[in-house]
Amino acid sequence: MSTSNPYAPPRGEVRDMAGEGLEPADRLMRLLAAILDSIIGALMIYLPAVIVIAATGAFDELAQPESEIDLGPLALPMLLCLVGFIAWAWITLLLVARYGQTMAKRLLEIKVVRSDGSKASLGRIFWLRNVVNILLGVIPLYGLIDILLIFGEKRQCIHDMIADTIVVKA
């Protein structure tokens, strides 16, 4: 006689696919990458403009009490910001598409992959990890909650869960 219950649900071993050969990135490394990416972006976008403004004295001209404001002195710094943004965006898109890494993630040797360990597509990273996350940012306290979830057992923020991604050591 069989002792198993024919009406019992099937049994199987459940295991987390993300754990197979992938080591999650340290929380501190993820935080450092976010901070470093912000610094790199700011330097690439704004630093050339600030240098030109300081060298040409463009703000001194704008500070003069005149009835008509001439934005001409800011044309070159604004153009430099645009060029810096395009350069930053191009480099970031190339790195994310090829390696699943931003500039800072590449420096810190961490990368974004799908939760099963496969490569995350540029579209998934751009749309689900970034654009959807920005749109959800209008919800009060969303940004704080998103960041704090990194301290959970899976080390996934809300944007990671939405995109079905994890950040691992490269």
Tens-digit pLDDT profile for residues 28-60: 999 999 999 999 999 999 999 999 888 887 777
Q: Which domain holds residue 106?
A: 23-62+69-169
DSSP annotation of 24: B
Taking 60 as the threshold, does the pLDDT of residue 18 lie above it?
A: no
Asked if the structure places residue 43 within a domain, the reply is yes
Q: What is the pLDDT of residue 54?
A: 86
Q: Which two tokens stand for residue 5?
A: 């219950």
Query: First and final CA of the chain: distance in angstroms?
Result: 53
Q: In this model, does residue 125 exceed pLDDT 80?
A: yes
Rg (CA), the chain: 23
- Asked whether residue 17 is domain-assigned, the answer is no
Q: Tell me the residue ranges of DSSP E strands in the chain.
A: 110-114, 165-169
Confirm whether 58 is domain-assigned: yes
pLDDT of residue 137: 94
In 42-145, DSSP assigns E strands to 110-114
| Residue showing tokens 């654009």 | 131
Evaluate whether residue 7 is within a structural domain: no
Specify the pTM: 0.79
Least Cα distance to 19 among 113, 98, 87, 89 occurs for 113
116: nearest Cα among 14, 13, 18: 18
Q: What is the mean pLDDT of residues 115-128?
A: 94
Higher pLDDT, 17 or 142: 142
Q: pLDDT tier at 74 (50, 70, 90 boundaries)?
A: confident
Number of domains in the chain: 1
Q: Is 50 within 8 Å of 57 (Cβ atoms)?
A: no
Residue 2 is assigned to a structural domain of this protein: no
* CB contact at 8 A, 159 and 133: yes
Specify if 83 maps to a domain.
yes
Mean pLDDT to the nearest integer, 15-37: 83
